[in-house]
Structure 1
Amino acid sequence: MSAVMEVSEPSADSLNDLQPPLVQHFELMATAPGGVTRLRELILTLAVQGKLVPQDPTDELASELLRKIRTEKSLSIGGGKNKRGDSPAAILEEDFPYTLPMTWEWIRNQDLFSLRKGKNPKALSETPIGKPYLDIEALDRHQVRRYSEDATALTCSADDILVVCDGSRSGLILQGKDGIVGSTLAVIECSKLVQPYLRLIFREGFQRYNSGMKGAAIPHLDTKTVLTEVIGLPPLAEQTRIVTRVEELMSLCDALEAQGQLEATQHAQLVQTLLGALTASASPDELADNWQRVATHFDLLLDRPEAIDALEQTILQLAVRGLLSPPLPEDQQVVVGSREDSPVPLPAAWSYVRLGGVLADLRYGTAVKCAYDMVGHPVLRIPNLKNGSIDATDLKFGQLGTDDLAKLALKRGDVLIVRSNGSASLVGSMAVVGPESEGFAFAGYLVRARLNPALLTPEYLNLAAKTAAFREQIEGPIRTTSGVKNINSSEISRLSFALPPLGQQQHIVARVDSLRRLCADLRQRLTARQTTQAHLAEALIDEVA
């Protein structure tokens, strides 16, 4: 048995009675993207279709159980405990959603149970006088907040089960307690014999029951649809076996999920440790040695997207410390900034600068209203900044005066910076203006940085802006106004980073671009592998179901 199956050996052994594809490929299905969730769904589907446990021909037939339930219901109505509901509609062969075992019986849910909806009682109070008012919080979190002495209100006991009828958790089953039934809940009135199996029915149907909508797209339990739904009823003895098996397999899924979370945590620690060894390198030679050690673990390290993201961030950090590109003979000392201000050691000719010290101009964009009607001048907006460059396919136009246009016209090599956005992760993101956007204006949520070309290339600034250290400087001073995150020109000017000689900037950018292409290729291969695994798992689940 596989390591995954050995998570919970007694539960894993119970899989031997299931159909062979599920047993043989359980690990594949469990480790596929979303695999444990799909396994839970599969287990419940098999359970309610009679495919989870073998039938026992000596079991009393489900038809006899149904007769007893109807007799019990008739006695309850005759005794005044319950009201007589509508008679279930006849079940035709075309209503059968799947094939049932011979010992089972087709029924509608209303043959098995009825629902009694709660209401808001009179004189609700936080004073603990009278009976507890039972809402979701009282039953699910055991936090009773209100009480009532309304003697006419619907009540329940600890022996009852209830279902949520309104809100995001509609369809959820909750165990009752002594108190008044809240307005978002309903008591499931049924024979105590079938209560455990009823829980399983609602659990299997949760997604269907939760998909009903009411009002402004609020989830709502459509009780008529639920009660008239056609289901299979197993013999009572088989119900017990099914519920027991489901509990065992769900425990196994819990263990698999916990193991997956543990593995994810351990993997994250491994990534942090190994990549941390790279960033701790003090020289290119030390980096080369550390890289060789890390490379031996790449098969374990780069098996998930977040690990590749971490590798890419490590590459950026190494690049802006001068560890990916050797010094050039023609390098000259950077004459601005101060090496002493750098938080990490820098190569000999480098300096540590503020962005404002290497700019020729920093300017806000226009507030002129723009439209798609192609009247006026093209104006770049935040949607035009994509992946560090300009995308002019979604272009608006504004009517700018001659003076404004002279000030706002973009030049090749300008860098546009997002200064205001609802998402903090987008604030401070940059894009380099290319020849296709020369002469365009830019909108007010953007800032144009015009660089001193003798000191800084736009490509290197765009690279440095993606490092974690640079992002921390951007997101630290961000202010929120009416839900919008902002950073101003003064804060942009104070952004600091390591600056290499001009010639080396070009070598660094080329090296990083090459390594990032490798990362993109790794992501693509990983996605393809995960997609294939997911398709295989889905095919196996379909085969078993």
Structure 2
Amino acid sequence: MDLPTFWDNFEVIAEAPGGVQRLRELILDLAVRGKLVPQDPTEGQAQEQLANLRNERAEHLAKTADSNTEYRRMLKKLSALESSVPPFDIPSNWSIAHLIDLSLLVVDCHNKTAPTTFEGIPLIRTTNIRNRQFRFHGMKYVDQDTYEFWSRRCFPEPGDIIFTREAPMGEATIIPDGMKVCLGQRTMLIRVFEQFVDRNFVLLALTEPGLIKRLASNAVGMTVKHLRVKDVEQICLPLPPLAEQKRIVAKVDELMAMCDRYEVSKCDRNTLRTKMRASANDALMNAETDESLNTAWEFVQEHWECLIQEPEEVETVRKVILQLGARGKLSKQTVTDGSVDKVIEQAQHEKNALSKKKPFPKLRKIKPLDEVEQPFQIPRSWTWVRVETICTHIVDCLHRTPKYQENGYPAIRTSDIQPGKILVDQARKVGIEEYQTQTQRLIPQEGDIFYSREGNFGIAAVVPPQCEICLSQRMMQFRVASNIDPYFFSWVMNAPVIFNQALNDAAGMTVPHVNIRSLKQFVFPLPPFAEQKRIVIKVDQLMTFCDNLEAHLHETQEKATALAAAVVGQLEV
């Protein structure tokens, strides 16, 4: 593919996930390989210009070498410099040279921590340079005396390049006009021979991603990887004729500005989409009638391409759906559904019957519900209950790590559960004896609900049929009464109404977790049994829509990424 075709596909790459950053990297890669602008024979040969640079620099350094220690060091290092080898193919009129061979001076910083003040001369540390720019946030300063002592080898001047060789290595920028700075630790000063070398081209070449990767492979150090001074001095850089250097810099600036505009445009679109999504969510959550709810949901379905463009954004829709279900806004209330009081009475009857059997624990009195505890209004045919009111069993895991083995019974960890789904196939296994130990309090059966209560807490899912599993650490198990739909219970346990209570309970803990005593007291919105069933059907339908939407977004992203990669891959770079 030729470059004009590549530029025609510029937007394709920019719109792919991570595309703008990939474009920035590619622009620099093309720049240092001579692929960004055409070569002009009238601009001469870089090798001849490099020879002229060496001659004039030698003359310049020799004049003051007797009185300038750094110039004497430069002459000594340059005399011992070996020939350089290009890391990739370059145009025939280009040359290759070590960084020190393009410079008047390459000076390391004073390798001690400078005493700082609240104001004065900026002390440039490695954290103050990112993406070829100074970062003034967190800038520290030094006084005049410290500046003079720390800069005694070489006073930084506007136009000098500052390069970081550790934490992080490979960042660089140019000191702008009118700025007086002091070098901090782990930085180096590079003063190129501006008569023959464009400092901005050197800056681009020093920050080209391919070079950074090559430098990283040569870095030393066990704890913190860093570059030695010699490593920086002997960086091999491609060298075009000076006129082409300037054309390359101008082209890079133009294309980087395009990237900036794409980035701003993306950011603006994301901001607008976030506002639209928030408005749509509010319309769904605050719908007072079936008609207004249907209108709000139709808006989401018709405009999902505008509202949701990232797979991660689908999660917000899922939470809204669950909260709508928990508020009674996904189903119609009918008088034929019966009384919710009957549901509670049946649950209590089942618990009373179980309490007479050993070793079932004695029933304790459930704390009455206060109206203040009710987080929102629910339909008149519903009621608020505590979680333990509608459960016949609430069992915590054994607080020990199971003895895992290659085969056996799946032991479900917090990483093996997603809202509404237990990932049985990925769970670690335990043997029969360990399974019996883990299930001594209650053997899981179809329709039980597993719940994560520590780490990635607040996730519930129903135990599927024909599945012999057990709890692992940080998990708990619910068994609801016969007239409580386990899938309804599970969906509400995943909804914000319960998760927010869990979040409040876990607040301030070193290791966030839900206390089982607190969880039993969580308030739970309860409809009649028939309506529970209708809500489950509706939630399942909407979750299927979300699953399909998420899969579509993943597929779209993958296609965009593959297309961008194909465009990039066809470039001869």
Question: Which TM-score bucket, shorter chain as reference?
Answer: 0.7 to 0.9
Change beyond 3 A, Cα 1:373–1:70: same
Partners in 2 of 1:500 and 1:275 — Cα distance? Answer: 23
Q: Secondary structure at the match of 1:286?
A: helix
Q: Structure 1 length normalisation: TM-score?
A: 0.83
Deviation of the 1:434 alpha carbon = 3.8
Partners in 2 of 1:242 and 1:404 — Cα distance? Answer: 68
Deviation of the 1:369 alpha carbon = 4.7
Q: How far does the alpha carbon of each residue in 1:293-323 deviate from its partner, in whole angstroms, 9 at most, with x for none?
A: 4444334334332443333333222222333
Deviation of the 1:201 alpha carbon = 0.8
Deviation of the 1:394 alpha carbon = 0.6
Contact 1:32-1:537 within 8 A present in 2 as well: yes
Q: Which moves more between the two structures, 441-450 or 250-259?
A: 441-450
Contact 2:501-2:522 within 8 A present in 1 as well: yes
Partners in 1 of 2:445 and 2:297 — Cα distance? Answer: 40
- After TM superposition, list the pairs within 5 Å mapping 1:442-461 onto structure 2: 442-443=471-472, 445-454=474-483, 456-461=484-489
Contact 1:155-1:178 within 8 A present in 2 as well: no
Contact 1:373-1:397 within 8 A present in 2 as well: yes
Which residue pairs with 2:281 in the alignment?
Answer: 275
Contact 2:110-2:150 within 8 A present in 1 as well: no
Change beyond 3 A, Cα 1:368–1:236: closer
Partners in 2 of 1:540 and 1:406 — Cα distance? Answer: 60
- After TM superposition, list the pairs within 5 Å mapping 1:135-154 onto structure 2: 135-136=125-126, 140-142=134-136, 143-146=139-142, 148=146, 150=149, 154=153
1:106 partner amino acid:
I
Partners in 2 of 1:375 and 1:99 — Cα distance? Answer: 57
Partners in 2 of 1:414 and 1:491 — Cα distance? Answer: 20
Partners in 1 of 2:119 and 2:556 — Cα distance? Answer: 61
Partners in 2 of 1:531 and 1:215 — Cα distance? Answer: 38
Partners in 2 of 1:237 and 1:451 — Cα distance? Answer: 79
Q: How far does the alpha carbon of each residue in 1:224-248 deviate from its partner, in whole angstroms, 9 at most, with x for none?
A: 5555454431111221222122112
Matched, 1:103 2:93: yes
- After TM superposition, list the pairs within 5 Å mapping 1:137-176 onto structure 2: 140-142=134-136, 143-146=139-142, 148=146, 150=149, 154-159=153-158, 160-167=160-167, 169-176=168-175
Which of 46, 71, 74 is the matching residue for 1:62? 46
Which residue pairs with 2:491 in the alignment?
Answer: 463
Partners in 2 of 1:342 and 1:144 — Cα distance? Answer: 52
Deviation of the 1:450 alpha carbon = 2.9
Change beyond 3 A, Cα 1:390–1:108: closer
Which residue pairs with 2:428 in the alignment?
Answer: 394
Partners in 2 of 1:468 and 1:214 — Cα distance? Answer: 50
Which of 109, 113, 125 is the matching residue for 2:115? 125
Matched, 1:187 2:189: yes
Change beyond 3 A, Cα 1:61–1:157: same
Matched, 1:472 2:500: yes
Matched, 1:542 2:547: no
Which of 36, 40, 48 is the matching residue for 2:24? 40
1:75 partner amino acid:
E
Deviation of the 1:171 alpha carbon = 0.7
Matched, 1:74 2:55: no
Partners in 1 of 2:321 and 2:494 — Cα distance? Answer: 11
Runs of at least 5 residues in structure 1 that lack an aligned partner in the other structure: 1-17
Q: Secondary structure at the match of 2:111?
A: coil
Change beyond 3 A, Cα 1:152–1:461: same
1:503 partner amino acid:
A
Q: Secondary structure at the match of 1:497?
A: strand
Contact 1:209-1:226 within 8 A present in 2 as well: no
Contact 2:123-2:182 within 8 A present in 1 as well: yes
Which of 446, 458, 461 is the matching residue for 1:431? 461
Q: Secondary structure at the match of 1:492?
A: helix
Deviation of the 1:444 alpha carbon = 5.0
Give the aligned CA root-mean-square deviation in angstroms.
3.5
Change beyond 3 A, Cα 1:270–1:441: closer
Q: Secondary structure at the match of 2:381?
A: coil
Matched, 1:530 2:557: yes
Deviation of the 1:60 alpha carbon = 4.0
Q: Secondary structure at the match of 2:446?
A: coil
Partners in 2 of 1:508 and 1:25 — Cα distance? Answer: 47
Q: Secondary structure at the match of 1:199?
A: helix
Change beyond 3 A, Cα 1:125–1:529: closer
Runs of at least 5 residues in structure 2 that lack an aligned partner in the other structure: 66-70, 345-367
Contact 1:360-1:450 within 8 A present in 2 as well: yes
Contact 1:414-1:449 within 8 A present in 2 as well: yes
Deviation of the 1:153 alpha carbon = 5.3
Partners in 1 of 2:290 and 2:121 — Cα distance? Answer: 74
Partners in 2 of 1:277 and 1:155 — Cα distance? Answer: 65
Partners in 2 of 1:209 and 1:349 — Cα distance? Answer: 69
Deviation of the 1:220 alpha carbon = 2.3
Matched, 1:518 2:545: yes
Q: How far does the alpha carbon of each residue in 1:3-50 deviate from its partner, in whole angstroms, 9 at most, with x for none?
A: xxxxxxxxxxxxxxx932133222222212111112111221222222
Q: Secondary structure at the match of 1:188?
A: strand
Contact 1:209-1:222 within 8 A present in 2 as well: no
Partners in 1 of 2:302 and 2:437 — Cα distance? Answer: 60
Contact 1:278-1:291 within 8 A present in 2 as well: yes
Contact 1:360-1:451 within 8 A present in 2 as well: yes
Which of 397, 412, 429 is the matching residue for 2:446? 412
2:481 partner amino acid:
N
Deviation of the 1:184 alpha carbon = 0.7
Which residue pairs with 2:360 in the alignment?
Answer: none
State how many pairs are aligned. 516
Q: Which moves more between the two structures, 400-409 or 462-471?
A: 400-409
Partners in 1 of 2:479 and 2:24 — Cα distance? Answer: 56
Which residue pairs with 2:349 in the alignment?
Answer: none
Q: Secondary structure at the match of 1:256?
A: helix
Which of 494, 500, 510 is the matching residue for 2:521? 494
Which of 369, 373, 385 is the matching residue for 2:417? 385
2:200 partner amino acid:
P
2:108 partner amino acid:
K
Q: Structure 2 length normalisation: TM-score?
A: 0.79
Contact 1:316-1:463 within 8 A present in 2 as well: yes
Contact 1:390-1:437 within 8 A present in 2 as well: no
Partners in 1 of 2:508 and 2:433 — Cα distance? Answer: 30
Partners in 1 of 2:236 and 2:461 — Cα distance? Answer: 58
Which of 389, 394, 401 is the matching residue for 1:357? 389
2:383 partner amino acid:
S
Deviation of the 1:103 alpha carbon = 3.2
1:182 partner amino acid:
G
Q: Which moves more between the two structures, 530-539 or 408-417?
A: 408-417
Contact 1:368-1:398 within 8 A present in 2 as well: no
Q: Which moves more between the two structures, 78-87 or 142-151?
A: 142-151
Deviation of the 1:173 alpha carbon = 0.8
Partners in 2 of 1:218 and 1:65 — Cα distance? Answer: 39
Partners in 2 of 1:20 and 1:477 — Cα distance? Answer: 60
Partners in 2 of 1:381 and 1:108 — Cα distance? Answer: 55
Contact 2:99-2:236 within 8 A present in 1 as well: yes
Matched, 1:211 2:211: no
Q: Secondary structure at the match of 1:282?
A: coil
